[in-house]
Amino acid sequence: MHCACSALQINIAAFLIGRSWPQTFVDRGVMRFAKSALCATALAVASLFTGGTASAQAKGFALNRFDPADRGSDWFVLDSIDLRGHVRPAVGLVGDWGYKPLVVYKSNGDEKSAIVEHQVFAHLGGSLVLWDRLRAGLNIPIALYQTGDAPTTNGTSFKDPGTSFGDIRVSADVRLLGEHGSVFNSAIGFALYVPTGSRENFTGDGSTRFSPRASVAGDVDIFTYAGRLGLNYRSLTETDSLGTELTIAASAGVRLLEKKQLLLGPEIYGSTVADSFGDKKATPLEWLIGGHYTHQDFRFGLGMGSGLTRGWGAPVFRTVLSAEWAPGADKDSDGDHILDREDACPTVPGVRTNDPKTNGCPLPAPPPKRSDRDADGIVDEQDACPDVPGVANTDPAKNGCPPDRDGDGIFDSVDACPDVPGVKNDDPAKNGCPPDRDGDGITDAEDACPDVAGVKNADPAKNGCPPDRDGDGILDPVDACPDSPGPADPDPKKNGCPLVRIEDGQLKISEQVKFKTGSAEILRDSDPLLTAVGTILKDHTELTKIRVEGHTDNKGSAGMNRNLSERRAASVVKWLTTFGIEKKRLAAKGFGLEKPIDTNDTDEGRTNNRRVEFHIETAPPPPEKPAPKAAPKKP
């Protein structure tokens, strides 16, 4: 068997299937057979990179697993979720060097060759925080230098292709719970990778990638942490080691220096292909340890680490450098040009001092001079009324104040009721008089309803209250049924109304008769209401004929609704006859959707239209209501 197979294809195929030549192939014939078989396998498998021909350019994928956080984060990879401020920008540059991120290993674990040996990237990016909650980000990866030692089809090694773009990342995150600096802060977002990179240069997938993610972060004193879970949707499926990935990252560290300008701690991040969960090549995992130092609005970072697995893209060694401009979200609440985090009096304008306990606070007032501003012969230090001339008094609280016969704190000269204790009032005619908040001429001390204007009443419990005609304890202005006693109800339309009342030729009910959905079966919740209807009919034998009407909304056909309303009306009649009402006094009638009392365009309107009504067909004229008593004249 003859197979024209390039060295690059053999290396890639061996890399993909994760094994080198078995040492047991010592026989030349067996060796030739194995080489031919591997060559044939290489032609099929290495088409992932070579396109199936020995002369085609090798095709790779987005190899670099270092994906920096959006600018403004305190970490290299993780997000500290600092989404404070509005129209708050951040820009910066992150550089990383990965050594041997793509290596072929022998079956005994020794290195065979490095397809990509050196990979140097610069990540130019920025972010913008809006409305204290939303952040948009942009990251532009640029491959500055790449090289490797895997042979290509012409026998040379993979050389630096020159400066080229990677896949540009566009992202957005929104804060959910918590605030920056609190014990728990969370956000969700996504990253979209535009295919601006090159598969041949191992800087891109050649297709769009989409990565939704959920992040958490927090601080406990000087300790800080962050975490992230996500998915990375990739369309590459040439091998089990490529495809949609589950991603995870975590970090923990400490904030040092007086203003916590230095953050030190490790970060771990990685992924695994969903369809090859845990497979070695499909599970690149890395760690970084380093720190970030913040000086005013600038932040600098240095970190280094390595791959924890031999997954594709996990390097033997990695170094990261970062520099960014990220203005803080500090505030100056009192406008004294001293930031709140440094201001000992953040809500009161003051002056800058070297003492953290007084920095930003007003200067202490000089000691007052001994004076007598009102010229009443009593110095201000001893004068309880230093701006109003008064008289001496052994009581320090009254010394130097004008007389106040009733002791209500309002001087007699401006007290409209100087002999009766009262309260201050902007109306000179009421100043110093007992309070009457509702202005009904009845002082609050005697007014049983001090906030509602009313009338005098010999009963102290009703004095100063509005009338209550039905005597149910609910005042007429808020009583929906002022002539029918009923209980209080938070619904203004039902407040003071009984369950059932005779009104306008009907037995008006304050609740609806409830039925099982789409059925004429009465729910037990309506038993108290129907009991009240039955009791009214037993008490009022003069009501010789009651028409029980059923009504529906417009859902369904007219015929179906008419039938349902008739059955429901009949169910109510049956319930009342069972309660003891003579059947000849009752008649059932269903109108379906013909007589709506509300719109059928809303849920509330349709609920109102689904109802049962009790109409009085024969009854004697109602008795005349006694004329209301005239309210006594105000004094």
Supply φ then ψ for residue 106, to 5 degrees: -75, 170
Has residue 222 got a pLDDT over 60?
A: yes
pLDDT above 50: residue 249: yes
Neighbours of 32 (CB within 10 A): 12
Q: Quickly list H helices, 143-207.
A: none
**Which of the listed ranges 7-16, 235-244, 599-608 does the model predict with the highest average pLDDT?**
599-608
Closest C-alpha among 515, 532, 613, 521 to residue 576 = 532
Q: Mean pLDDT across the stretch 530-557?
A: 93
Q: What is the pLDDT of residue 9?
A: 41
- Would you say residue 28 has pLDDT above 80? no
SS3 561: helix
Average pLDDT of the chain is 82
- Counted residue by residue, the chain has a size of 635
Rounded Cα–Cα distance for residues 128 and 105 (Å) = 44
On whether residue 106 sits in a domain, the answer given is yes
Inform me whether the pLDDT recorded for 37 exceeds 60. Answer: no
Residue 59 lies in a domain: no
Q: Is residue 20 part of a domain?
A: yes
What distances in angstroms separate CA 30 from CA 6, 481, 610, one per listed residue?
Answer: 20, 105, 88
Please answer whether residues 146 and 2 qualify as being in contact, where contact means their C-beta atoms are separated by less than 8 angstroms.
no
Condensed to tens digits (0 to 9), the pLDDT of residues 327-375 reads: 876 666 677 878 776 888 988 899 999 999 999 899 887 766 678 888 8
Which pLDDT score, from 0 to 100, does residue 389 have? 86
H or E stretch covering 40: helix 28-45
Assigned domain for 413 exists: no
The pLDDT score that the predictor gives to residue 302 is 96
For the segment 618-629, the average pLDDT, to the nearest whole number, is 57
245 and 339 fall within a common domain = no
- How large is the C-alpha radius of gyration of the chain? 43
Residues 156, 268: one domain? yes
Residue 580 lies in a domain: yes
pLDDT at 236: 83
Higher-scoring residue by pLDDT: 252, 261: 252
Give me the sign of the Cα torsion angle 612, 617, 619, 624.
Answer: positive
Burial of 28 per CB tally in 10 Å (0-12, 13-18, 19+): exposed
Read off the pLDDT of residues 558-592 as tens digits, 9 standing for 90 and up: 999 999 999 999 999 999 999 999 999 999 999 99
Q: What is the pTM (predicted TM-score) of this model?
A: 0.47
Q: How far apart are CA 167 and CA 233, in angstroms?
A: 14
Amino acid at 630: A
What confidence score (pLDDT) does residue 629 get? 53
Q: Would residue 68 count as lying in a domain?
A: no
pLDDT band at residue 625, thresholds of 50, 70 and 90? low
- Residues 263, 292 contacting (CB under 8 angstroms): yes
The verdict on 216 and 117 lying in the same domain is: yes
Q: What is the pLDDT of residue 11?
A: 42
Same-domain status, 521 and 544:
yes
User: In this structure, are 141 and 181 located in the same domain?
Assistant: yes
CB 521 within 8 A of CB 508: no
Tell whether 435 is covered by a domain.
Answer: no
Predicted confidence band at 10 (pLDDT cuts at 50, 70, 90)? very low
Instruction: Give the Cα separation of 536 and 337 in Å (integer).
Output: 76
- Single residue among 347, 382, 401 that ends a domain in this structure: 401
Does residue 306 sit in the same domain as residue 359?
Answer: no
Of 53-57, 276-280, 510-514, which gets the smallest average pLDDT? 53-57
What is the predicted pLDDT for the residue at 110? Answer: 79
Distance set, CA 382 to CA 226, 378, 582 (Å): 62, 7, 89
Q: Is 199 in the same domain as 231?
A: yes
**564: in domain:** yes
Assess whether 164 and 293 both reside in one domain: yes
Residue 504 identity (one-letter amino acid): D
Residues 360 and 376 in one domain: no
Tokens encoding 115: 């397809």
Structure tokens given for 376: 């009443």
Minimum mean pLDDT among 51-55, 162-166, 376-380: which range?
51-55
Average pLDDT over residues 231-238: 86
Is the pLDDT reported for residue 120 higher than 80? yes
What are 366-389's pLDDT values in tens digits?
766 678 888 888 888 888 888 888
State the total domains in the chain.
Answer: 5
Whether residue 181 is found in the same domain as residue 302: yes
Tell me the pLDDT tens digit for each residue of 496-505: 788 898 988 9
pLDDT of residue 162: 75
- Report residue 557's pLDDT band, with 50, 70 and 90 as the boundaries: very high
Give the burial class of 334: count Cβ atoms within 10 A of its Cβ; 0-12 exposed, 13-18 middle, 19 or more buried. Answer: middle
**Count of beta carbons in the 10 Å neighbourhood of residue 222:** 12
Q: How far is residue 465's CA from residue 447's CA, in Å, rounded to a whole number?
A: 7
Say whether both 18 and 117 belong to one domain: no
The pLDDT value recorded for residue 159 is: 66
Write the CATH number for 189. 2.40.160.40
So what's the pLDDT on residue 391? 85
- pLDDT (0 to 100) of residue 444: 82
* Contact indicator for 164, 197 with CB cutoff of 8 Å: yes
Q: What is the pLDDT of residues 74-105, one digit of tens each?
A: 999 999 999 988 888 999 999 999 998 988 88
Residues 154 and 217 in one domain: yes
Q: Is the pLDDT of residue 631 over 60?
A: no
* Range from 155-159, 236-240, 392-396, 451-455 carrying the lowest mean pLDDT: 155-159
Residue 529: give the domain boundaries. 499-618
Residue 430 has pLDDT above 90, yes or no: no
